[in-house]
């Protein structure tokens, strides 16, 4: 190879590599030069240019989809918050305690869902949220809806921070936690003092969710299978949605234990 050929090969190779590096940095403004020689470098340059065009198109499509998905989550969250605000407004016209309690239950259910959409549109991949972050935010929101800042109910968590879940499963899980924790606030602590614990763990094949309180529990004469409040009916239905095995725990208070497969 003479020096002239060596220089030509070096220059063409470098020029093509520069463009590949630009594409790797998602800069699609550059193109490799195609000469009239119609040699192997022109063929490679032609392929690199076309791959760059296809890559640019794919990147734009993905960005458009992500932006659309973010908009969807944002709108769903906003709509749910409007519904919640309307219920609040309706509640301000009455002093009926039963009606106010019903409104609060409905609002908490709506908020448990809107929180997921809010976290999704703020998340990087728009499809999954961190279970630990969500459960902590949700339980604090329920706490303030029941007792404001004067509650002596404390929370303990044992949640694997590595677990992220998609909305499809996070919504029923959020509603289950909402029902269980709301029930604890309503019935478990007559002296407004107690502990609620939420565990969320992962084995190789299953997720494990446990929500317990150290309150007064159910009266001994009530059998578990006769326990038919709307809250427990909802927990049962939502467990089915997760294909989970659900157990009611009655030692030292009341609790719920759910086991469901990771690969649903």
Q: Which residues bind other proteins (CB under 8 A)?
A: 34, 36, 38-40, 42-44, 46-47, 49-50, 53-54, 57
Minimum Å distance from CB 155 to other proteins?
54
**204's tokens:** 């190789």
Minimum Å distance from CB 2 to other proteins?
22
**26's tokens:** 């998602």
Minimum Å distance from CB 76 to other proteins?
32
Closest to 232 (Cα-Cα) out of 215, 210, 247? 247
**30's tokens:** 């550059």
Cα–chain-centroid distance for residue 10? 51
Helix axes 40-91, 3-24, angle to 10 degrees: 10
In this complex, which beta carbon is closest to other proteins, that of residue 28 or of residue 187?
Answer: 28
In this complex, which beta carbon is closest to other proteins, that of residue 42 or of residue 214?
Answer: 42
d(C-alpha 57, C-alpha 80), whole Å? 35
Residue with tokens 């909305």: 167
In this complex, which beta carbon is closest to other proteins, that of residue 31 or of residue 65?
Answer: 31
Minimum Å distance from CB 53 to other proteins?
4
Minimum Å distance from CB 58 to other proteins?
11
Give the residue ranges of DSSP H helices in 123-166: 131-147
d(C-alpha 121, C-alpha 150), whole Å? 32
In this complex, which beta carbon is closest to other proteins, that of residue 57 or of residue 78?
Answer: 57
In this complex, which beta carbon is closest to other proteins, that of residue 55 or of residue 102?
Answer: 55
d(C-alpha 212, C-alpha 235), whole Å? 14
């Amino acid at each position: 190879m003479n020096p002239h050929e060596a220089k030509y090969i070096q220059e063409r190779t470098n020029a093509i590599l520069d463009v590949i590096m630009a594409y790797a940095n998602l800069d699609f403004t550059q193109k490799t030069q195609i000469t009239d020689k119609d040699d192997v470098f022109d063929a490679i340059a032609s392929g690199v240019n076309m791959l760059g065009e296809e890559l640019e198109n794919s990147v734009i499509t993905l960005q458009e989809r992500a932006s659309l998905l973010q908009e969807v989550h944002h709108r769903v969250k906003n709509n749910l918050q409007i519904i919640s605000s309307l219920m609040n407004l309706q509640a301000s016209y009455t002093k009926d305690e039963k009606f106010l309690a019903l409104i609060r239950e409905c609002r908490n259910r709506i908020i448990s869902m809107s929180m997921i959409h809010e976290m999704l549109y703020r998340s990087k991949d728009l499809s999954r949220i961190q279970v630990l972050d969500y459960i902590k935010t949700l339980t604090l929101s329920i706490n303030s809806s029941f007792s404001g800042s004067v509650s002596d109910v404390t929370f303990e968590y044992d949640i694997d921070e590595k677990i992220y879940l998609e909305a499809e499963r996070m919504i029923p899980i959020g509603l289950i936690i909402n029902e269980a924790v709301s029930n604890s606030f309503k019935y478990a602590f007559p002296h407004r003092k107690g502990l609620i614990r939420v565990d969320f763990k992962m084995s190789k094949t299953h997720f494990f969710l446990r929500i317990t309180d150290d309150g007064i529990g159910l009266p001994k004469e009530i059998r578990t299978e006769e326990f038919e409040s709307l809250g427990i009916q909802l927990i049962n239905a939502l467990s089915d949605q997760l294909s989970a095995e659900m157990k009611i725990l009655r030692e030292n208070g009341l609790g719920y234990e759910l086991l469901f497969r990771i690969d649903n």
